[in-house]
Structure 1
Amino acid sequence: MKQLVVTERVCLIGHVLSLVFGLAGLLLVLPNPQFIAQLPSIGQQLFGLSMANGGVVYIVLGAIAVALYAYRTLGWQNLLGFMLPAIFLSLGSELLGTSTGFPFGHYSYLSGLGYKIAGLVPFTIPLSWFYLGFSTYVLARSGLEAKGMNGWSAKIGGIAIGALLLTAWDFVLDPAMSQAAYPFWAFQDVGEFFGMPYRNITGWLGTGLVFMTVATVFWRSPDLPLKRSQLMTPLVIYLVNFAFGALITIAQLDVRFWIPTAISIIVGVVPAITLWWSAGADEVTVRDPEITPFQLL
């Protein structure tokens, strides 16, 4: 089990460092081509390779970190019960969206996020739905159950709040990835909400609600008795991914985009931290802090 913990932490650290490196490249290096020109040829090749594949690396590392975390704390059945609906239902939603315009509006993916499934959706996109969706769902369920909610009230609340937190992240992600200087996808529809179609927001919320509902049906345990120390991985995943999109949005877009950024902080970041805090501290100190009740199942 300790090897899993080490591997999870290595992947989580790699995920964070990849995001930091990506930010540095997008905000500092690419806007200053003279810096790149001064690099030796091998340095230019390595920089080009890293920028071309950096999106793939940080998403894959994030997905591995969350998968290991889910297996370690909740067991393989709950991991698969969430991961499979999240990946396949979000992929179906993305394939439908890129081919018909429903439910997100008409858009298409550019380069930089890896091999495209059916030539439309990068394979990394469903992975990002999984690891962010799992993180928001676990934070929501744990926080609500710590406040005394249980049964279907906690499940429905976890689905609703988890999907809302996931959608709040998109308020900074979409402007950063579609309207900044170096985009990864592009909308063909007129964006009524700061360049995003309104149905993109409802599409995000609906997709999250659908796969979280299906995952809840397959959830093996009745509740989520996770405390703050056990929720650090989901919280870190959510906050660093939010910061990635928010910093690009603030740095490369005009001051109007402070509005969706502020909304996402109010609707996403503040509730996420509040839910994490509500989960409470560990009640019992044990020799191995990595052991959880689900490891005994």
Structure 2
Amino acid sequence: MSTLIRVERSLLIGHILSMAFGLAGLLLVLPHPKFIANLPAIGQTAFAWSMVGGGVMYMLLGMAAVLVYAYRILGVWHCLGFMLPALTISLSSELLGTSTGFPFGHYRYLTGLGYKIAGLVPFTIPLSWFYLGFSAYLIARAGLNGKSIPNWLKTLGSIVLGAIFLTAWDFVLDPAMSQTTMPFWVWEQPGAFFGMPYQNFVGWFGTGASFMTVATIIWQLKPLTLPKTQLGLPLAIYISNFAFATVMSVGAGIYIPIGLGILVGLMPVLLLYRMATTQTEELIPQNMVVSVNPVRVISK
């Protein structure tokens, strides 16, 4: 096993464990102040650290895991070709959203997700756009790659599906994270979808589709070999973050978004992953098969 693979797996494990640790703090410890008061000093210190830096850590680890994977599988050009548009476009959308209400609606971030850029958007938020968006897009593109459809339709389908899968994750995450015991953001004008405006989903889809489109154009400037059998990390990133959002929603007593997320996000992602990893090389046409007569070997 190469050093990069070991690093990649370690980062993924750390990402998943930090999410589990955060869930335990938010859903089990934080709602029970007496339990916190009875913790030993080291337990109280760990809990305080998790409340201050837990959200930052799991997103940093997710970003790092996907970055190492993208570099190892796709190379520097295609890695940066997706990461830079994802970071810049998502940050621009978030800054615009928190300043004007467009394209997501009127909201603001609270504490717990790290230093805020321009005092508005935690620096970790664009990181999550990148690593979830990359994972969703790559699985969509790899799944469609072997199908007998025009290339332009594969390209368009990858962008549309990738943006839908990214938005489906937000279906589940956003209501819970804004209504948990310790919310990470609040909606200034609550909407009809469990406190969120429907405009938020349009903004999510549009932002995701925008940076996926730019990345697609950049990727087309150089030959690209899509992975077929090495999609485990993108799938693990998507499933683990979807599971995190699901547990948060259950803890908040919000269930309908989970079903929507499974229907338009998780199930299609699993299907496309299956399609990508089971694709085989095209069979040689029968009229091109060369028939070879058997050779008889005569011994003395």
CA distance in 2, matches of 1:212, 1:149: 20
- What percentage of aligned pairs have identical amino acids? 59
Per-residue CA deviation, residues 214-240 of structure 1 (Å, 9 max, x unaligned), is 01000045555322x311100110011
Deviation larger for 38-47 or 16-25: 38-47
CA distance in 1, matches of 2:43, 2:245: 27
Query: What is the CA distance between 1:4 and its match in structure 2?
Result: 1.0
Query: What is the CA distance between 1:251 and its match in structure 2?
Result: 1.9
CA distance in 2, matches of 1:171, 1:48: 29
CA distance in 2, matches of 1:150, 1:32: 57
The aligned counterpart of 1:292 is none
Decide whether the 8 Å contact of 2:160 with 2:209 is kept in 1.
Answer: yes
Deviation larger for 263-272 or 183-192: 183-192
Instruction: Write the mapping of 1:1-20 to structure 2, written as runs, cut at 5 A.
Output: 2-20=2-20
CA distance in 1, matches of 2:135, 2:15: 14
The aligned counterpart of 1:226 is 227
Instruction: Write the mapping of 1:60-75 to structure 2, written as runs, cut at 5 A.
Output: 60-75=60-75
The amino acid that maps onto 1:132 is: L
- One of 266, 269, 274 as aligned partner of 1:272: 269
Tell whether 2:89 aligns with 1:100. Answer: no
Tell whether 2:245 aligns with 1:245. Answer: yes
Find the residue that maps to 2:105 and give its secondary structure: coil
Query: What is the CA distance between 1:131 and its match in structure 2?
Result: 0.2
Find the residue that maps to 1:260 and give its secondary structure: helix
Find the residue that maps to 1:230 and give its secondary structure: coil
Decide whether the 8 Å contact of 1:151 with 1:223 is kept in 2.
Answer: no
Find the residue that maps to 2:230 and give its secondary structure: helix
The amino acid that maps onto 2:265 is: G
Decide whether the 8 Å contact of 1:178 with 1:186 is kept in 2.
Answer: yes
Query: What is the CA distance between 1:151 and its match in structure 2?
Result: 2.4
Find the residue that maps to 2:255 and give its secondary structure: helix
Tell whether 2:32 aligns with 1:35. Answer: no
Instruction: Write the mapping of 1:87-166 to structure 2, written as runs, cut at 5 A.
Output: 87-149=87-149, 151-166=151-166
Query: What is the CA distance between 1:190 and its match in structure 2?
Result: 2.6
Seen in structure 2, the aligned counterparts of structure 1 residues 149 and 224 have a Cα distance that, compared at 3 Å, is farther
Query: What is the CA distance between 1:147 and its match in structure 2?
Result: 2.3
Per-residue CA deviation, residues 159-179 of structure 1 (Å, 9 max, x unaligned), is 000000000000111011101
Query: What is the CA distance between 1:283 and its match in structure 2?
Result: 5.8
CA distance in 1, matches of 2:66, 2:54: 18
CA distance in 2, matches of 1:214, 1:225: 18
Seen in structure 2, the aligned counterparts of structure 1 residues 221 and 282 have a Cα distance that, compared at 3 Å, is farther
The aligned counterpart of 2:55 is 55
* TM-score, length-scaled by structure 1: 0.91
Decide whether the 8 Å contact of 1:137 with 1:163 is kept in 2.
Answer: yes
The amino acid that maps onto 2:99 is: S
The aligned counterpart of 1:212 is 212
Query: What is the CA distance between 1:149 and its match in structure 2?
Result: 3.7
Decide whether the 8 Å contact of 1:146 with 1:280 is kept in 2.
Answer: no
CA distance in 2, matches of 1:213, 1:207: 10
CA distance in 1, matches of 2:250, 2:261: 13
CA distance in 2, matches of 1:156, 1:66: 23
* TM-score, length-scaled by structure 2: 0.90
The amino acid that maps onto 1:226 is: P
Which one has a bigger Cα radius of gyration? 2
Decide whether the 8 Å contact of 1:15 with 1:59 is kept in 2.
Answer: yes
Tell whether 2:172 aligns with 1:172. Answer: yes
Find the residue that maps to 1:181 and give its secondary structure: coil
Query: What is the CA distance between 1:280 and its match in structure 2?
Result: 2.5
Per-residue CA deviation, residues 57-109 of structure 1 (Å, 9 max, x unaligned), is 00000000001100101111000000000000000000000000000000000
The amino acid that maps onto 1:269 is: L
Seen in structure 2, the aligned counterparts of structure 1 residues 268 and 198 have a Cα distance that, compared at 3 Å, is same
For structure 2, which runs of at least 5 residues remain unmatched after alignment? 282-300
The aligned counterpart of 2:46 is 46
CA distance in 1, matches of 2:197, 2:59: 25
Decide whether the 8 Å contact of 2:25 with 2:50 is kept in 1.
Answer: no
Query: What is the CA distance between 1:36 and its match in structure 2?
Result: 1.3
Query: What is the CA distance between 1:282 and its match in structure 2?
Result: 7.8
Decide whether the 8 Å contact of 1:151 with 1:222 is kept in 2.
Answer: no
The aligned counterpart of 2:190 is 190
